[in-house]
Homo-oligomer: A and B are copies of this chain.
Amino acid sequence: MSKSDLPRPTDSELSILRVLWRRGPSTVREVLEEMAPGTGYTTVLKFLQIMAEKGLVRRDESRRTHVYRPAASREETQRKLTGDLIKRAFNGSAKSLVLQALSGTKASAEDLAEIRRLLDEIETKKAKR
């Protein structure tokens, strides 16, 4: 099963993935401790089990206490979600999304500079071809 076959994570699943990306491989309890207070242990456990079924996380069962890690990196997932949003809400235009994100937010001067740098890089690469 290729990575692109992974389903889009739901909101709840994403909040768990965020923890795993930040912490690296983790047990249920470790994830739980970083979740919103009031979250139940078995709720997190169940999600991780479901996510393992879906292929969103891998499970190491070699020890008594299972250890979960993300199946896809944060970047891969971000890419997938972004591409998805572009297709679903922006008629496939990445440009539209970028313009929307830029206008709808207050990015710092450094952020803008970094974006310019990436633009330069892309255009340089494009020119070289």
Contact = CB atoms under 8 A, between A and B. Distances in A.
A116 interface: yes
Interface string A89-119: 1110011111111111101110110111011
Interface of A: 11, 14-15, 18, 75, 77-79, 81-83, 85-86, 88-91, 94-105, 107-109, 111-112, 114-116, 118-119, 122-123, 126
A102 B81 CA distance: 14
B118 A116 contact: no
A122 B104 contact: no
28 contacts: A11-B88, A14-B88, A15-B88, A18-B91, A78-B90, A78-B96, A78-B97, A81-B85, A82-B104, A83-B104, A83-B105, A86-B101, A94-B101, A94-B102, A94-B107, A94-B111, A95-B107, A95-B108, A95-B114, A97-B101, A98-B102, A99-B115, A101-B101, A102-B118, A103-B118, A112-B122, A115-B115, A115-B119
